[in-house]
Amino acid sequence: MKITVITVCLNSRNTIEKTIKSVIKQVKQDWDLEYIVVDGGSTDGTMLIVQEYAPYIDQYVSEPDRGIFDAMNKGISMASGDVIAFLNSDDWYEENALNSVMAVFADSDCDCVCCDNYVIGKNGRREYFDASKFLIDDLYIQMIYYHSSIFGKKELFKKNENFDIRYKFAADYDWFLRSVKNGAKLQYIHQPVFTFCYGGVSSVNEIECAEEARKIALSRLPAGKEIYRDRINRKLCEIVLNILDPESFYSKLTEILEENRINILWGAGSRGTQWTSWFQKSGIKIEAVVDSNSSLWGRFIGTVPICSPEILDQISCNLIITPEKYVDEIKSAVSAGNSNINIFEWNELCKMLAMSAVDDLLA
């Protein structure tokens, strides 16, 4: 059995050598390796490095393309392997990673092998991405594997028409979702096969990628899965809110909250803690966090006190309700005790913030 590894690149002089070395150093056991490099017309000397390793590269080409997924499709058309894999030009394989993958293909009739990986984030820290935390149905909400940890048979790509280049950032998600919906047989191995470095096309353009993925998820949602629509939209909100810088968060939130009122959060759980942190980092003052759990009263989240809901009886405020459960009961109780409170549900507030950010970006 043969695996074709495809590296697509554009002006990757500073990183591609490590990528290439990680491929050609893979120790083969009862399988063959084909390595293809598809360059988009680099002008920074990338191809000089590629040519230096020409004896280890079966095919390479350097010419303009219509984006990363067009280059990937080009690589697929050049491939002669039974299995196809992609490794971007700023990532690298772990030692002997491909042996583990090819062993699974040899022992099963699966169409696709999926794995874990490492991630080097914006902060430079290397963390383990454990894909086992996801269920396969989570794929209807978001991409559950990193692209280079997915190894597919060439026939799977032919059957599902490769990558749709109408999508600039998330065509890999679209292809994988289509493949699973069309009955692709998956095998998962709980092992990191490569290291992903933050800085690729989709990671740099996170909001655009998230919005594109949301559209794909909604358009591919099968009958009987409509319950996931809200979770799909909330996933975009989560991504956007984590990306927004404090100045943007402050600007957008102050446009929504009613002016001249103090701000109070309901809920001292993980979401309430997260929102308190977002408010404080953005310079928006939080007077208190209220919670019905009396054992929390008198404690603090950062510098913000946790108080009894009774403090809401006599004040005028913006109240952001962060728990998902008992929202209607909380709203009813608060409104009955004080009609001079402007109530916001966290998920609706998330949507308004996120969609405002997306609209600004895509305008």
What pLDDT was estimated at residue 297? 97
Structure tokens at 97: 């990673």
Q: Shortest CA distance to 236 belongs to which of 357, 139, 324, 363?
A: 357
C-alpha–C-alpha distance, residues 202 and 204, integer Å: 6
What pLDDT was estimated at residue 202? 60
Q: Strand, coil or helix: what is 216?
A: helix
Quote the Cα angle for 169-172-173, to 5°: 90
Taken as a whole, the chain contains a residue count of 363
What pLDDT was estimated at residue 200? 64
**Cβ neighbour number for residue 274 with a 10 Å cutoff:** 16
Q: Strand, coil or helix: what is 359?
A: helix
> What residues of the chain score a pLDDT lower than 70?
200-204, 358, 361-363
Strands 300-301 and 112-120: unpaired
What pLDDT was estimated at residue 362? 57
What pLDDT was estimated at residue 204? 56
Contact 301, 289 (CB under 8 A): yes
- Is the overall model pTM greater than 0.85, yes or no? no
Q: Could you please report the per-residue DSSP string of 28-52?
A: PSS-EEEEEEEE----SSHHHHHHH
Q: Shortest CA distance to 321 belongs to which of 298, 349, 353, 358?
A: 349
C-alpha–C-alpha distance, residues 35 and 20, integer Å: 9
What pLDDT was estimated at residue 203? 55
Which one-letter DSSP state was computed for residue 250? H
C-alpha–C-alpha distance, residues 138 and 243, integer Å: 22
Contact 320, 302 (CB under 8 A): no
What pLDDT was estimated at residue 140? 93
Q: What are the beta bridge partners of residue 288?
A: 264
Which one-letter DSSP state was computed for residue 258? P
